[in-house]
Amino acid sequence: MAKKAKGERRMKILISGVTMAAAGTERSFLTYAESLDRENNEITLFLAERSGALLPYVPDGIKTEEMKSGGSLFTMNGKNAKSVLLREFVLRHPLCALKAARYLPFYIRNRGFAAMRIWLCAMRSLPPLAGEYDEAVAYWGDKTMFFVADKVRAKKKTAWLHFEYDYPPREDALYGEYFEKFDSIVCVSRRSVGMLREKFPHIAERFTYFENEINENLIRRLGDVPCPEMETSAVKLLTVGRVNPVKGYDIALPAVANLINAGYNIKWYIVGACDDFGYKAELEREAERLGVRKRLIFIGETDNPYRFMRACDVYLQPSRSESCGLALREASVFGKTAVCTDIPSAAGAKNCLICEKTSDSVFESLKRALDSQIKGQFLW
């Protein structure tokens, strides 16, 4: 966004988001927001819910607003999805809900397709956003992309994709229809750019790559804070990421348990909000079965994950998919030994052992990393 010449009209810019929870997209937004010309533009961060640990860190000059209704459609999770859809959609718009019911038969054989189509029917029942903007930016991924496309009037529209397009699998026909409504689609993964240009050649020029930046000085400053939660004689493993199957905690848990049973004094700390409570319960039950429940510590959401990064011994990223692996790059600021599955963003990471997405491979790489810590040297 270029600076305005003196006397020019201030541009009205809308950035669509969900919450300011302390997750990767939100942390990358704060760095992005600092680069915006807030003095010469009228910028509004429009959130589904005006909440989250990082809300106080939104830069001055950016106004924050909240959806008047329907915000919970964007924040719902597996635990409350049925009650949210009933309250926000079925009871308020019964005729629209009746039309959406045609997707229910698909739920058994293609749950993702059915869930997204039903969610879209619910989102489309929301009223359009008042006013018109010079530019609207859907920064929080696909749901904000759908909202900006259907409910926001703007002369220019930009979508950001903070995910690998093919994980989980997405419906090309649906996404292609929405991509065409945007002037630019920014991907934080080079792999996704290439994939999308091949899938949608008629709009190939709209897909661009932008590497999420990190503020190393800020990370070091926030990391220079005591971390009493990690005061232990055990070797401290850390993963920063929301509690969701895509993060691969279930892949790493047997590896961590096997290392503990082999005599390694380990505690594994997971820092991040939980957006799949059923998955968290499964992890807790499995940790109990493996005899390591007290060694698995869910910290939850925090506005400062960097103090945990500084205090940990080994950083573990067992993800099934990542677009840019922001947390892995942030942990490298503190020179931490890292173990990461073979996601594209792991290539070139500092002090990082890359392993396959299997428990056995994670075990071997973690053992090697832990042995290097014990000996006080890097083995690669």
**Domain containing 27 — which CATH number?**
3.40.50.2000
Residues 290 and 370 in one domain: yes
Task: For residue 137, give the amino acid letter.
Answer: V
Residues 228 and 141 in one domain: no
In a domain, residue 83? The reply is: no
Residue 217, classed as helix, strand or coil, is: helix
Residues 307 and 247 in one domain: yes
Residues 65 and 169 in one domain: yes
Residue 380 pLDDT = 35
* Mean pLDDT, rounded, for 149-163: 97
In a domain, residue 1? The reply is: no
CA 47 to centroid of chain Cα atoms? 15
* Mean pLDDT, rounded, for 241-255: 96
Q: Tokens 């308020």 label which residue? A: 92
In a domain, residue 329? The reply is: yes
Query: What tens digit of pLDDT does each residue of 268-279 get?
Result: 999 998 877 789
Residue 325 pLDDT = 82
Residues 268 and 313 in one domain: yes
Residues 61 and 131 in one domain: yes
Query: What tens digit of pLDDT does each residue of 188-212 get?
Result: 988 899 999 999 999 999 999 998 8
Number of domains in the chain: 2
In a domain, residue 140? The reply is: yes
Domain boundary among 150, 182, 209: 209
Can you give the pTM of this predicted structure? Answer: 0.86
Residues 37 and 131 in one domain: yes
Residues 136 and 163 in one domain: yes
* Mean pLDDT, rounded, for 317-327: 89
In a domain, residue 97? The reply is: no
Q: Comparing 154-163, 325-334, 361-370, which segment has the lowest mean pLDDT?
A: 325-334
150/129 Cα distance (integer angstroms) = 10
Residue 222, classed as helix, strand or coil, is: helix
Q: Comparing 107-111, 160-164, 307-311, which segment has the lowest mean pLDDT?
A: 107-111
In a domain, residue 101? The reply is: no
Residues 317 and 355 in one domain: yes
Domain boundary among 177, 209, 241: 209
Task: Give the pLDDT band (50/70/90) at residue 7.
Answer: low
In a domain, residue 249? The reply is: yes
Residues 194 and 227 in one domain: no
Residue 208, token pair as written in the block = 């661009």
For the chain, first and last CA: distance in Å? 43
Q: Concatenate the DSSP letters of all residues of 270-337 into one string.
A: EES-BS-HHHHHHHHHHHHHTT-GGGEEEEE--S-THHHHHH-SEEEE--S--SS-HHHHHHHTTT-E
Residues 135 and 283 in one domain: no
* Mean pLDDT, rounded, for 84-104: 93
User: Is a pLDDT exceeding 70 seen at residue 186?
Assistant: yes
Task: For residue 362, give the amino acid letter.
Answer: V
Q: Tokens 């969900």 label which residue? A: 18
Residues 259 and 174 in one domain: no
Domain that holds residue 17: 11-69+127-209
Residue 349, classed as helix, strand or coil, is: coil
Q: Do 318 and 249 touch, CB atoms closer than 8 A?
A: yes
Domain boundary among 184, 209, 234: 209
Query: What tens digit of pLDDT does each residue of 278-320 get?
Result: 899 999 999 999 999 999 999 998 989 999 999 999 999 999 9
User: Is a pLDDT exceeding 60 seen at residue 6?
Assistant: no
Task: Give the pLDDT band (50/70/90) at residue 25.
Answer: very high
Residue 376 pLDDT = 46
Residue 88, classed as helix, strand or coil, is: helix
In a domain, residue 111? The reply is: no
User: Is a pLDDT exceeding 90 seen at residue 29?
Assistant: yes
Task: Give the pLDDT band (50/70/90) at residue 238.
Answer: very high
